[in-house]
Amino acid sequence: MTWFIRMWKRVTLAHGAGGRETKEVIERIIRALVPREYWTVKGGTGLDILDDSALIPIDNGYLAVTIDSYTVKPLFFPGGDLGVLAASGTINDLLMAGARPLAALDAVIVEEGFEFEKLLTITRSYTETLYKHGVSLIGGDFKVMPRGEIDGVVISSTGLGVVEGEPIRDDKIRPGDKIIVSGYLGDHGAAILASQQEIGVKFNVKSDVKPLTDLMLPLLKEYRGRIHGAGDPTRGGLSMLLNDWAQLTGTVIVVDESSIPVREQVREYAEMLGVDPLSLASEGVAVLAVDPSVADEILDYMHRLGYREASMVGEVYKPSNPSHAGRVLLRSITGGVRILEPPSGEIVPRIC
């Protein structure tokens, strides 16, 4: 911990971007300060596997709990706003643990002088998104900060859900599992980046933000136990998510660039700015690691649910050399192979 603080001295935007630096903060400060026996509630999960939701054992299942703070800039962006983003992120984090979302609590901090009309719009987006997907808002908090001490509005949202049966735990991903993505990647990150820079407007990119209840609840009903890992590739995108999985399980994950769905305008915009589209956030996409014996069946089922762009993009392998464990490899369109590194630096500031 001491060397980490000496090296950085001050917090940078990169530490909140969801990439390598964010993981270092979690590892070097948060985990380092909490004794290992307090990382979980006995029989559950928490700081040990750092999944989308923590799991607490209850009778006949688990209580899933998640929390996130949302501080997007701009507050209103193509395809959504801060409210729908906060509600969707909360719901999706519960779904990725195999939970049925039940309830949410929010803590809203607003800057003095902020327009009530805009606050009403954001609040309506948040609450309507929750109740349209069967989630109750059962409590929260509201604070106002002096003008200039916070940028507009920040929402912290806590979600509660119930896992009825076997949860999805990313540490259960195993060699042979197939990697499936449910749709186009990077739309949200590209939309926020375009909104922050005038040059991006002409690319006509739109956020994919939405809850994934219509995908995950049917999948859980039909294939619970066959889905070994699930995540929504938000900050850090697909690159960060797959690197987290590979490092957690000590495996090697290989993905094919030609199979990864990315909209052409998103790819062109990212390449123009020198950003890897696989590091851009998605807010309405699920990435699944599934049993190979039912992978084709699951993919076909996702298509029938309306996720026509769902694609099988890779596979999990046992490392041939122990030193290779934790790596993600990308087979490029041109036929080469490169290491897909976890993103680093300020990928897209204030994205979610």
Whether 181 and 255 have beta carbons less than 8 Å apart is answered as no
Q: What is the pLDDT of residue 2?
A: 65
- In CATH terms, 34-163 corresponds, of 3.20.20.80, 3.30.1330.10, 3.60.21.10, 3.30.230.10, to 3.30.1330.10
CATH class of residue range 170-339: alpha beta
pTM assigned to the model:
0.94
Total count of residues recorded for the chain: 352
Residue-averaged pLDDT of the chain: 93
Distance CA 135, CA 36 (A): 33
Decide: residue 17, CB within 10 A, 0-12 exposed, 13-18 middle, 19+ buried. Answer: buried
pLDDT > 90 fraction of the chain, expressed in percent and rounded: 80
pLDDT band at 169 (very low <50, low <70, confident <90, very high): very high
Distance CA 329, CA 166 (A): 30
Give residue for tokens 């938000």.
Answer: 234
Q: Where are the domains of the chain?
A: 34-163, 170-339
Q: What is the pLDDT of residue 348?
A: 67
